[in-house]
Amino acid sequence: MTDPKLSLRDLRITFGPRTVVDLDHLELGSGEILGLAGESGSGKSITALAVLGLASTLGARVEGSVRLDDEELVGAPESRLREIRGSRIAMIFQSPVSSLDPLLRIGELFERTLRLHGDGKHEAAERAAAALREVLLSPDLLERYPHELSGGQAQRIAIAMALALRSEVLLADEPTSALDVTVQAEILDLLRRVREERGMSVLFISHDLAVVAELCDRVAVMQLGRIVEEGPTARVLGEPEDDYTKRLVASVPKIGVRA
């Protein structure tokens, strides 16, 4: 790939003697939605955390290279990583409500975060309102507390935060796994729009191959820390070559097919 947005090479993540991730290479193109698929324990979440330099807080050791455009992130000073987190690479999680500070109103949360990244008070307020409109939420929600939001609304807020911060890359860790099926459809639709309208690059982590099939341009399948197959979604999920991928694809319940 020429000029990938995010490039992982020879990435090894270990917890003491145990190696949980051993990647040769993985690239996320600019404006691309790349799926990282695998079961629980395959190492996909910790890989995303390692991109942000957060894996070490869990006690992991990270070796190898993670490049954002031309900048090396592994081993970068914490101050530099803090600047990057949010403003260039944002992350959203499975449970959005619990990743929002319960004591802050949404508006306050936006204000604080945006100001941390350099905005003035007025500018922050405007950006927050604009971001909410972009994710089709009423700016009224700025007055609410996280627990007053539904799961879908909270996830939209999380995405709005990435938009307000003008992030270039979005790491999405199972963002729809805890959501009802129609709400999931909304969020997937939103992610597609965000990519089209903003050119945001998305790394979409999921155990649900059907969701990956719906959303992602390319997919990398992970098993026990390694990538076993990678390629355009239609090809990998339609005509899998690796045995593990074949088994994964076969085990997804399909509508219209009786067991």
Partner 1 sequence: MSALTAVEAPLLEVEDLVVEFGPVRAVDGVSFRLPAGPYGFALVGESGSGKTSVARALMRLVSATSGAIRLDGSEVVGSSRALRAYRRDVQIVFQDPTTSLDPRTKIGSTIAEPLRAHRIVRRAEVGDRIASLLAEVGLDPEMAERYPHQLSGGQRQRVAIARALSVEPRVLVLDEPTSALDVTVQARILELIAKLRRERGLAYVLISHNLAVVEQLCEETAVLYLGRIVEHGPTEEILASPAHPYTLALRSAVPEIDLAARRSRIVLPGTVPDPADPPPGCPFHPRCPYANERSRTEVPELRMVAGRTVACHRAEEIVAGEV
Partner 2 sequence: MSRVPSYPDIESREEVLAPPGRLRSVPGVIRRNPLLAVGAAMCIAIFLVAVLAPLIATYPEDAGSATHPLQTLEPPSALHYFGTDQVGRDVFSRVVFGARISPLIAVLVLAISVLIGVPLGIAAGYFGGAVDEVISRVTDVFLAFPALLLALAFAAVMEPSITNTVIAISITWWPWYTRIVRGQAASVTGRPFVESAKATGVPHRTILLRHILPNSITPIIVQVSLDVGGVILTASALSFLGLGAQDPTPDWGLMVSQGQAYFTTQWWLVTFPGAAIFLTAVAFNLLGDGLRDVLDPRRVLTTR
Task: Select from 81, 105, 89 the least CA-distant residue to 165.
Answer: 89
Strand 218-223 to strand 33-37: parallel, antiparallel, or no bridges (unpaired)?
parallel
Of 47 and 233, which CB lies nearer to partner 1 in the complex structure? 233
By CB under 8 A, is residue 152 in contact with partner 1? yes
Which residue in the set 33, 135, 211, 222 belongs to the binding site for partner 1 (CB under 8 A)? 211
By CB under 8 A, is residue 40 in contact with partner 1? yes
Which residue in the set 2, 18, 57, 254 belongs to the binding site for partner 1 (CB under 8 A)? 254
103 binds, among partner 2, partner 1, none (CB under 5 to 8 A by kind): none
Longest dimension (CA), the chain: 58
Measured between alpha carbons, how far is 165 from 222 in angstroms, rounded to an integer? 30
By CB under 8 A, is residue 140 in contact with partner 1? no
Helices of type H across 121-208: 121-134, 151-164, 181-198
101 binds, among partner 1, partner 2, none (CB under 5 to 8 A by kind): none
Contact status, residue 45 vs residue 249, Cβ threshold 8 Å? no
State in angstroms the smallest separation of the CB of 259 from partner 2: 7
The DSSP call for residue 167 is -
Task: Select from 165, 166, 186 the least CA-distant residue to 175.
Answer: 186
Per CB under 8 A, the segment of 22-30, 81-89, 104-112, 250-258 that binds partner 1 is: 250-258
Q: Could you give the 3-state DSSP secondary structure of residue 83?
A: helix
The DSSP call for residue 5 is S
Per CB under 8 A, the segment of 21-29, 65-73, 163-171, 177-185 that binds partner 1 is: 177-185
Binding site residues, partner 1, CB under 8 A? 39-40, 136, 150-153, 180-186, 188-189, 207-211, 213-214, 233-234, 237-238, 248-249, 251-256, 258-259
